Structure 1
Amino acid sequence: MAQRIDVKDVNIYYGDFLAVEGVTMTIDPRSVTAFIGPSGCGKSTFLRTLNRMHEVIPGARVDGSVELEGVDLYGDDVDPVAVRRTVGMVFQRPNPFPTMSIRDNVLAGVKLNNRRISKSDADDLVESSLRGANLWNEVKDRLDRPGSGLSGGQQQRLCIARAIAVKPQVLLMDEPCSALDPISTLAIEDLIQELKKEYTIVIVTHNMQQAARVSDRTAFFNIAGTGKPGRLIEMNDTATIFSSPAEKATEDYVSGRFG
């Protein structure tokens, strides 16, 4: 199920403003890749190019190629909705649909994609998705209650269940633990380790310890100053990035000397 992503010479614009410049990288399947770097360096902007969420912003555009198993996601014949189905996303703050039940939240993506599904298949999908998000045992007796009634950490796992219900190959996570307490954060981190057995996972995080704990590879982004584009400084195995990075700027950032 998991697929490899190859990014080549990607430049990201908001209108005439070049926000991120010249990114080339490979993201391995069945692994966790972390994006780190100071605020404003383009991590989340770049993350959103991996499922064409960036272009929903008026005036935003992307040059270069983002290939999923050799298929350019920005090709003329590629449907962006299909891309977002294949490359799912979990946002910074849990965002279950507040008027929907837990069950309907899980099925929301499937229904939005106009997939017809029988009640028994829907029941199986709800259970398998909630089990995949390590949430089933906590909510199995209240599936018809609103998803907004769950705790913050449970809501975030519900959003992960909603994302995996549509059977993506890639999961993007934009600071998925920033609004959570330490216990909920640990639950999400443990879940990420389980999910990488089946998915390609990319996570943006400001938490250096989290990047060190959950990721296999880490990419460090930086920015030269206000109004300058963000750039990928280096990318390597996480252990190497945190113990012996090639660039001094990376060493300064991971050691807490700036950022």
Structure 2
Amino acid sequence: MAQRIDVKDLNIYYGDFKAVADVQMEIEPRSVTAFIGPSGCGKSTYLRTLNRMHEVIPGARVEGTVEMDGVDLYADSIDPVAVRRQVGMVFQRPNPFPTMSIAENVLAGVRLNNRRISKGDAQDLVEQSLRGANLWNEVKDRLARPGSGLSGGQQQRLCIARAIAVKPQVLLMDEPCSALDPISTLAIEDLISELKSDYTIVIVTHNMQQAARVSDRTAFFNLAGTGQPGRLVEIDDTATIFSSPRERATEDYISGRFG
């Protein structure tokens, strides 16, 4: 299920402003890749290009290629909606649909994609997805209740269940723990470690300890100054990035000397 992503010569624009410049990156399947760097350096912008969500912003565009197992996701023949089915997204703040039950939230993406599904298959998919998000045992007796009634950490795991219900190949997570308490954060981190056996996972985080705990590879982004585009400074195995990075800027950021 998991797929490899190759990014080549990627430049990202908002109108005439170049937000991110010249990214070259390989994202390995069945692994967790963390993006770190100071605010405004383009981490989340770059993350959104991996499932073509960047282009929904008026005037936004990209140059370069994003290939998933050799297929350019930005080729003219590729449907952006199909890309977003294969590359799921979990956002910074939990966003269950407030008028839907827990079960309806899980099935929302499937139904949005006009997939016909029998009642029995729907029940099986709800259970399978909630188990995959380590949420089933906590909610199995209240599936008809609103998803918005869950705690923050449970809501985020519900959003992960909704994302994996459509059977994507890649999961993107944009600071998925920033709005959560430490116990809920630990639950999400444990879940990420479990999910990587089936998915390619990319996570943006400002938490250095979190990047060190959950990721196999870490990419450090930076920018030279206000108005300058963000750039990928280096990417390597997480242990290497945190112990002996190649670039002084990476070491300064990780050690807290700037950022």
In structure 2, what is the Cα distance between the partners aligned to 1:120 and 1:24?
A: 45
Post-superposition offset of 1:17:
0.2
Q: In 1, distance between residues paired with 2:11 and 2:23?
A: 7
- 1:15 is matched with 15
Aligned residue pairs total 259
Q: Give 1:126 deviation, angstroms.
A: 0.1
Where structure 1 has 5 or more consecutive residues not aligned to the other structure, the ranges are none
For 1:254 and 1:169, the matched residues in 2 are separated by 30
Q: Which residue of 1 aligns with 2:116?
A: 116
Where do 1:188-207 residues align within 5 Å?
188-207=188-207
TM superposition shift of 1:166: 0.1
Per the alignment, residue 6 of structure 1 pairs with: 6
Alignment partner, residue 145 of structure 1? 145
Between the aligned partners of 2:188 and 2:204, the Cα distance in structure 1 is 14
Secondary structure of 1:97 counterpart: coil
Give the structure 1 partner of residue 38 of structure 2.
Answer: 38
Correspondence 1:150-189 to 2 at 5 A: 150-189=150-189
CA distance in 2 between counterparts of 1:62 and 1:126 reads 36
CA deviations 1:5-46 (Å, max 9, x no partner) are 000000000000000000000000000000000000000000
Distance in 2 of aligned mates of 1:257 and 1:76: 44
Q: For residue 128 of structure 2, what is the aligned residue in structure 1? A: 128
Q: Secondary structure at the match of 2:67?
A: strand
Following superposition, the deviation at residue 96 of structure 1 comes to 0.1
Match of 2:95 in 1: 95
Amino acid at match of 1:164: I
Instruction: Give the superposition deviation at 1:228.
Output: 0.2
Within a 5 Å distance, the mapping from 1:49-88 to structure 2 comes to 49-88=49-88
Distance (whole Å) between structure 2 residues aligned to residue 139 and residue 98 of structure 1: 16
Q: Deviations over 1:113-168 (max 9, x none)?
A: 00000000000000000000000000000000000000000000000000000000
For residues 79 and 116 of structure 1, what CA distance do their matches in structure 2 show? Answer: 20
Query: Which stretches of structure 1, 4 residues or more, deviate above 3 A after TM superposition?
Result: none
Distance of 1:99 and 1:150 partners within structure 2: 13
Partner of 1:237: 237
1:252 maps to 252
Q: Distance in 1 between matches of 2:178 and 2:34?
A: 14
Distance 2:241 2:205 in 1: 15
- State the AA in 2 paired with 1:19: A
Superimposed CA distance per residue, residues 76-135 of structure 1 (whole angstroms, 9 cap, x where no aligned partner) = 000000000000000000000000000000000000000000000000000000000000
- Structure 2: where are the runs of 5+ without partners? none
Q: Distance in 1 between matches of 2:129 and 2:62?
A: 33
Distance 1:194 1:234 in 2: 26
* TM-score relative to the length of structure 1: 1.00
Counterparts of 2:123 and 2:205 in 1: how far apart (Å)? Answer: 34
CA distance in 2 between partners of 1:246 and 1:146 (Å): 49
Deviation at 1:2, TM superposition (A): 0.2
Tell me the distance in 2 between the aligned counterparts of 1:151 and 1:242. 33
How far 1:256 sits from its partner (Å)?
0.8
Structure-1 separation of matches of 2:214 and 2:115: 33
1:173 is paired with a residue whose SS is strand
Equivalent-residue separation in structure 1 for 2:250 and 2:177 (angstroms): 23
Q: Partner amino acid for 1:231?
A: R
Letter in 2 for 1:165: A
